[in-house]
Amino acid sequence: MTEKISSLTRAISLTDEILVLLDQEDFEAIGELDAKRRPLIEEAFSGSLDEVDQAKALHLKELNDLAVSKLIELKASVIGSQKKIRHASKATKAYINNQY
């Protein structure tokens, strides 16, 4: 049981680091930390759920929800930027085509 709590604690710590990296948009480092985090979560939740520290599990869920929220915001931002780039590209093409 102590090993499960330790795994869950380490997963929480890595999730905290991932949240910081999301703010920095360091997606390569996020991928590396997530690869380390996944086995810890699997280990923490393997077997009986009665052995899982419920408070830590809830905290991890809240951190995961926050990470998902940040990712949704980043996705919306990227989509908005892509739309602006396409619009600017079309405007540039129209300008160039009207020059001749």
Domain segments of the chain: what residues?
2-99
Tell me the C-alpha distance between 19 and 64, whole Å.
9
Would the pTM count as exceeding 0.85?
no
The letter for the amino acid at 54 is Q
Tell me the C-alpha distance between 88 and 69, whole Å.
29
Residue 76 pLDDT > 80: yes
User: Residue 1: its pLDDT value, please?
Assistant: 63
